[in-house]
Amino acid sequence: MKEQQLNKILGKAQDICNHSGGRLTSKRKGILELMLLSNVPLSAYEVTDKYNKSTGSSMAAMSVYRILDFLETEQLVHKLSSTNKYVACSHIACSHTHEIPQFLICGKCQSVKEIAIAKRIADELEQEVANAGYKLVNSQLELQCICEKCS
């Protein structure tokens, strides 16, 4: 990722936080930047190590969990519940309203692609769920795949 692009995203993240009343502190910003620069999802402990190594600090994992929770609340990062890892949102700099993210997770290289599936499919899925007597509350899907490079 080019530095210019990174700065644009971080600027947008700042706007989002200003708007919501959250504070994008330097630590939070540092964690977000690190997430944006990673090609693969990271566990909270991996984030901790990376942050500490790159900054020479010694933040505890506890703090990282809190910061990741904050970033998740602001929808700047997403948590993949199937792998217990975190990824930066791919659409921070996009102006469109936030859609429910769907993740394609490569089983070989662990790379993740965030896509938006056709609304029609999501609707059909919701209908199926309704037929079974349930109500869908979150249609974030995490799909196990093989990416182009690895296949």
Partner DNA sequence: AACAGCAATGATATGATATATCAGCAAGAT
Partner DNA sequence: ATCTTGCTGATATATCATATCATTGCTGTT
The only residue of 26, 81, 95, 97 in contact with a copy of itself, by rule CB under 8 A? 81
Question: If binding is defined by CB under 7 A, does position 40 make contact with DNA?
Answer: no
Q: Which of 5, 39, 54, 84 binds DNA (CB under 7 A)?
A: 84
Contact 74, 110 (CB under 8 A): no
CB 33: neighbour CB atoms within 10 A? 19
Q: Tell me how far the alpha carbon of residue 24 is from its chain's centroid.
A: 16
- Stretch of 6-14, 45-53, 70-78, 106-114 lying at the interface with a copy of itself (CB under 8 A): 106-114
For Cα atoms 141, 146, 147, give the angle at the middle one, nearest 5 degrees: 95
* Interface positions with DNA (CB under 7 A): 22-23, 25-28, 43-46, 57-63, 65-67, 70, 84-85
